[in-house]
Amino acid sequence: ISTPSPATTGPEPGETLPSGPSGDGLGDELFPALGNPGIDVDHYSLDLHYDPATDLIEATMTVALALTEQRPEVTLDAVGLLVDSVSVDGEDAEYAMEPEKVRVVLPAGSADDGEAEIAIGYQVDPSPTTSAVGLPSGWFDTAGGSYVLNEPDGARTWMPCNDHPSDKATYDITITVPTGLTGVANGELVEHRTEEGAEVWHWRESAPMATYLVLVLTGDYELVTGTGPHGVAIESAILREDIPVMQPFLDSIDDQIAFFEEWFGPYPFADYGIAMTDSDPGLAMENQGLSMFSRTDFGSGVLYETTEMLLSHELAHQWFGDAVTPARWIDIWLNESFATYGEWMWLDHVGIATLGSRAESALADRPPGSSASPPVTDLFGYNSYYGGAVVLHALR
Ligand code: ARG
Ligand code: ZN
């Protein structure tokens, strides 16, 4: 299967709906077309089959949502997905593919109570895309597996969703992979079973989560479990051959959680872990309850400035970004500057660099521009991270 061109997907001729504007976007300042203003997703249930040998996804996404406006149809964000069936409350529904949306007609009589369950069967040969922000996001292949990095708008390239952080929801994610592989997602592992030629991994995220924080990993991962401060479940995903080298980082999790709890309040989720994936160096992501890092950055097995910075930054995001999430992308500094400040606090705590020295050099290097209104092309730029962290230091 190759990624379909939008014009050739959707219902048979004759069933095709007139295609509307390219989306009923939420009007986000930086990504106006993302999301749909008439829905509020409650729960995503994703049943995803993936084989790294073919790099194909076959999946069904079931979206339980409330209608916040009376409407005859709804859209979900979907880019490059080959949709082959859509139902609403169990009844086949008409749909049309638009370049960035799947438009679903609500069958007469459905959603009368203001709620609907939309199930979308689809296939995709996923690959990362570079959207307005200029960084690749979406689904990435690795040797023998895969990972995702969605932020800000890559989730829609491998799962249909209301792809905007203003609409958080809970998730059940079931990943079916060939025998011998592990499928990992956010939250707790509800079930692991083996089938003929396959293994099924069912994960549940019970705390509301933005789509950009969804993590799906496949590969030869070992799940390393433990218990952190006051019963926080620790569940990390480490490539089997990396277990010895990653031990110091696994051992550091508890102290880091305890440190941030003193300043930020109780760790906001039931579980935390680190996922060490086979991605490009320098890449790290605060996926909810399961921060993702590049194994290359941690290959030394040593806690030093770089590894301490990465680990503390993504953990601080669990409070700033994950538990409390900006409703508009233009407010990204509320994520990145607090995480950067958390990173500085930790480096100071472990004696690597003082907070004052970090803040002073960040201030000296600060380019013109505002932390509060980044252009989309500089969403993850200096001012969103260091510029805003200087502001926090000044306020403190
Ligand atoms: N939120 C991540 C971090 O600062 C950065 C993600 C950047 N997005 C991307 N597609 N590379 O930890
Ligand atoms: Zn960050």
The neighbourhood of ligand 2, an ion, using CB within 5 A, equals 336, 339
Instruction: Label the pairing between strands 39-51 and 169-178.
Output: parallel
Residues facing residue 395 across a β-bridge: none
Q: Which of 328, 66, 45 is nearest to 159 (CA)?
A: 45
Cis before residue 126, ω within 30 degrees of 0?
A: no
Q: How far apart are CA 339 and CA 320, in angstroms?
A: 7
Nearest residue (CA) to ligand 1, atom 11: 135
Task: Classify residue 192 by its DSSP letter.
Answer: E
Among protein residues, the one with the nearest Cα to ligand 1's atom 1 is: 285
For residue 9, what pLDDT band results from cuts at 50, 70 and 90? very low
pLDDT at 14: 38
- Judge whether residue 16 has pLDDT over 70: no
At 230, the amino acid letter reads: H
Separation of 87 CA from ligand 1 center, angstroms?
Answer: 34
pLDDT tens-place string over residues 170-181: 999 999 999 999
Query: Residue for token digits 């003082």?
Result: 354
Specify the residue with its C-alpha closest to ligand 1, atom 8.
151
Tell me the mean pLDDT in the region 259-284. Answer: 97
DSSP 207: E
Q: Does residue 336's CB lie within 6 angstroms of at least one atom of ligand 1?
A: yes
Rounded to whole angstroms, the Cα distance separating 5 from 106 reads 25
pLDDT tens-digit readout, 273-317: 999 999 999 999 999 999 999 999 999 999 999 999 999 999 999
Q: Closest ligand to 284 CA?
A: 1
Token look-up 């249909």 returns 160
Q: Is the CB of 278 under 6 A from ligand 1?
A: no
CB 186 within 8 A of CB 209: yes
In the reported structure, the alpha carbon of residue 332 is separated from the centroid of ligand 2 by a whole-number distance in angstroms of: 9
Rounded CA-CA distance 136/173 in Å is: 23
> Per mean pLDDT, which range of 10-19, 127-136, 223-232, 259-268 is the poorest?
10-19
Least confident of 54-68, 101-115, 180-194, 238-252: 101-115
The reply to whether ligand 1 has any atom less than 6 angstroms from the CB of 382 is no
How far does residue 332's CA lie from ligand 1's centre (Å)?
11
What band does 370 get if pLDDT is binned at 50, 70 and 90? confident
The total of other beta-carbon atoms located within 10 Å of residue 176's CB is 22
What pLDDT shows up at residue 24?
Answer: 79
Write out the two tokens for 171. Answer: 């998730």
Q: What pLDDT score was predicted for residue 363?
A: 97
133-172 pLDDT per residue, tens: 999 999 999 999 999 999 999 999 999 999 999 999 999 9
195-230 CB burial, b ≥16 within 10 A, e <16: eeebbbbbbbbebbbbbbbbbbbbbbbeebeeebbe
Q: Give the helix/strand (H/E) hosting 316.
A: helix 305-319
Return the closest-CA partner of residue 133 out of 374, 388, 382: 374
Atom of ligand 1 nearest to the CA of 284: 12
User: What pLDDT, in 10s, does the model give residues 331-363?
Assistant: 999 999 999 999 999 999 999 999 999 999 999
**Looking up tokens 């550091």, which residue turns up?**
252
Q: Separation of 286 CA from ligand 1 center, angstroms?
A: 8
Ligand 1 touching residue 207 (CB < 6 A) = no
Q: What is the dihedral of CA 382, 383, 384, 388, to 10 degrees?
A: 120
pLDDT of residue 237: 98
Closest atom of ligand 1 to CA, residue 321: 1
CA 362–ligand 2 middle distance (angstroms): 16
Q: Is residue 322 in contact with ligand 1, taking CB distance under 6 Å?
A: no
For residue 4, the model assigns a pLDDT of 32
* pLDDT for res 39: 96
Mutate to test the pocket of ligand 1, among 280, 285, 335, 377 (most ligand atoms within 8 A of CB): 285
**pLDDT at site 5:** 35
* Of 82, 78, 79, residue with least CA distance to 63: 78
Task: Write the DSSP symbol of residue 16.
Answer: P
Helix (H/G/I), strand (E/B), else coil: 66: strand
